[in-house]
C-alpha cells in the first residue's frame, strides 16, 4: 500500500555511483593531497594569526568549461608563485549554483548544460577537474550547497563557503561542523550578519545527523565541530558592507559572540553591485583599511575569469565565448593580475606586523 502514499511527485530513481566508486575512478594522488593539505594549513595559520599574509579566493563565478577553467588555473598558479610573500592564493572552483527560482544549477547538476542533468557524469568530471587543479599545486575553494556532495570531492578542497542563502540552514551548519576545511559563512542576502555568526557558533560544536558514508549507505554522521569558521561580508539589502563602519560593527558582533574577529570581504555580489568593474575599487578600499591599521580582515574574494563580463547559455553551445562566465560577471585576466599585484605592492612591508594580532 505504500506506493499509494509516497513518491507521488517522483518520476524515477536513477543509479548514482557511491562516493567510493567515484573516488576509485578518480583517485587522490600524493601530489594532489599535499597541495590540499598545504593549502589548508596556510589558511588555518592565517586564521590563527601565525601567518601574517592575506588569503584571496579568486576565480570564475562558476566552472562550466573544464578546459578554460584549467587554462585559468595554470595562469593563477604562476601568479600565486609571484605573490606568495604576501598573498595565499586559493582558486575559486564552484560547481553548484543556488537559485532563487530557476536557472542553470551548475556543472555537477547539469554538466552538458542542456537540462539533461547527468549528475553522475558531473560529479566524476568535477572531481577530475579538482584533481587537476590540485596537481598544479593550487588549493581550491568551493561553496557547499548539496550536503551529500562533500563526500564525493571534499578531500580535494582547501576552503569552503556557506552561502548567503544557506547560512541559516541547520543542515548546512551541521555539514560545516564536519568539513575538513576552514569555512566562511556569508552574511544574509538582506545584509544582516546575525545568521552567519550563529552559523559559525553552531558549526564550531559537535553534531549528529543523517547522511551518507563512502559506500553510499545511510549513516549517522557524528562531528567534532569546526574551529575555523569565520565571517564573509558580501553586502546585501541594497548596500555594500565592506566600509570601515560595517567592518567595525562586524568586529563588535563577533567579539560579543566570543568569536575571533576574522573577516573575509567578498569584492563581488552586493559589495560591487554585481558590476565587475567595481571589484578593484572594493579591493583597493579594503587594502587601504589594512594599511590604516585594520587587523581583522584576513581574506578577500574576487570573481575573475579569462574574459570580462558574462554571457547567457546559448542553444548552440559551440558559440560560447571561451573563458567567459555563464553566471555572474567577472573581471578579466589582465585586471586580475593588476588587482593582485597592486595589493601585493601595497601590503608587502606592512603584513609582517599583523602576525600577533
Q: In this structure, what C-alpha cell is assigned to residue 304? A: 575573475
Position 67 in a domain: no
Domains in the chain: how many in total? 1
Residue 298 DSSP label: E
Burial environment of residue 220 by CB neighbours within 10 A (0 to 12, 13 to 18, 19 or more):
exposed
Q: Is 220 helix (H, G, I), strand (E, B) or coil?
A: strand
**357 pLDDT exceeds 50?**
no
User: Which domain, by its residues, includes 297?
Assistant: 14-47+54-59+78-354
How far apart are the C-alpha atoms of 42 and 274, rounded to whole Å?
A: 29
**109 pLDDT exceeds 50?**
yes
How far apart are the C-alpha atoms of 2 and 162, rounded to whole Å?
A: 37
Task: Specify whether the CB–CB gap between 126 and 153 falls below 8 A.
Answer: yes
Please report, for the domain that includes residue 209, its CATH number: 3.20.20.70
Q: What is the CA radius of gyration of the chain?
A: 20
What value does the mean pLDDT take over residues 18-29? 98
Tell if the pTM clears 0.85, that is, is over it.
yes
List, for residues 321-336, the tens digit of each pLDDT value: 999 999 999 999 999 9
Q: In this structure, what C-alpha cell is assigned to residue 108? A: 555537477
Position 70 in a domain: no
Position 9 in a domain: no
Position 2 in a domain: no
How many whole angstroms from its chain centre is CA 268? 13
Position 162 in a domain: yes
pLDDT of residue 100: 62
pLDDT of residue 111: 97
Position 282 in a domain: yes
End-to-end CA distance of the chain: 64
Position 71 in a domain: no
What value does the mean pLDDT take over residues 7-13? 92
What rounded mean pLDDT belongs to the chain? Answer: 96
Which stretch of 3-12, 117-126, 158-167, 263-272 has the lowest confidence by average pLDDT?
3-12
Position 68 in a domain: no
How many whole angstroms from its chain centre is CA 16? 25
Q: Residue 223: how many CB atoms within 10 A of its CB?
A: 17
Residue 353 DSSP label: G
pLDDT of residue 2: 65
**1 pLDDT exceeds 60?**
no
Amino acid at each position: 500500500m505504500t506506493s499509494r502514499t509516497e513518491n507521488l511527485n517522483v518520476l524515477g530513481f536513477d543509479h548514482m555511483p557511491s562516493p567510493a566508486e567515484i573516488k576509485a575512478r578518480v583517485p587522490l594522488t600524493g601530489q594532489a593531497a599535499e597541495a590540499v593539505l598545504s593549502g589548508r594549513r596556510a589558511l588555518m595559520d592565517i586564521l590563527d594569526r601565525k601567518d601574517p599574509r592575506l588569503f584571496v579566493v579568486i576565480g570564475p563565478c562558476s566552472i562550466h568549461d573544464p578546459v578554460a577553467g584549467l587554462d585559468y588555473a595554470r595562469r593563477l598558479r604562476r601568479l600565486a608563485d609571484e605573490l606568495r610573500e604576501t598573498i595565499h592564493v586559493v582558486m575559486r572552483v564552484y560547481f553548484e549554483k543556488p537559485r532563487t527560482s530557476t536557472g542553470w544549477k551548475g556543472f555537477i547538476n547539469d554538466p552538458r548544460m542542456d537540462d539533461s542533468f547527468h549528475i553522475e557524469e558531473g560529479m566524476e568530471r568535477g572531481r577530475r577537474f579538482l584533481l587537476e587543479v590540485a596537481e598544479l599545486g593550487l588549493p581550491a575553494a568551493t561553496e557547499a550547497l548539496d550536503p551529500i556532495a562533500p563526500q564525493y570531492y571534499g578531500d580535494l578542497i582547501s576552503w569552503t563557503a556557506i552561502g548567503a542563502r544557506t547560512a541559516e540552514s541547520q543542515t548546512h551548519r551541521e555539514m560545516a561542523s564536519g568539513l575538513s576545511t576552514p569555512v566562511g559563512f556569508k552574511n544574509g542576502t538582506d545584509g544582516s550578519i546575525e545568521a552567519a555568526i550563529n552559523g559559525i557558533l553552531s558549526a564550531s560544536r559537535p553534531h549528529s545527523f543523517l547522511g551518507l558514508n563512502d559506500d553510499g549507505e545511510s549513516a549517522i554522521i557524528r562531528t567534532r565541530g569546526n574551529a575555523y569558521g569565520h565571517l564573509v561580508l558580501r553586502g546585501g539589502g541594497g548596500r555594500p558592507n565592506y566600509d570601515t563602519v560595517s567592518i567595525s560593527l562586524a568586529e563588535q558582533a563577533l567579539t560579543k559572540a566570543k568569536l575571533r574577529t576574522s573577516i573575509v570581504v567578498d569584492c563581488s555580489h552586493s559589495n560591487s553591485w554585481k558590476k565587475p568593474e567595481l571589484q578593484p575599487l572594493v579591493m583597493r578600499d579594503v587594502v587601504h583599511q589594512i594599511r590604516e591599521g585594520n587587523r581583522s580582515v584576513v581574506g578577500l574574494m574576487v570573481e575573475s575569469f579569462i574574459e570580462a563580463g558574462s554571457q547567457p547559455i546559448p542553444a548552440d553551445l559551440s558559440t560560447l565565448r571561451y573563458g567567459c562566465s555563464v553566471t555572474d560577471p567577472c573581471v578579466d585576466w589582465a585586471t586580475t593580475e593588476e588587482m593582485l599585484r597592486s595589493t601585493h605592492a601595497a601590503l608587502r612591508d606592512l603584513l609582517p606586523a599583523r602576525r600577533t594580532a
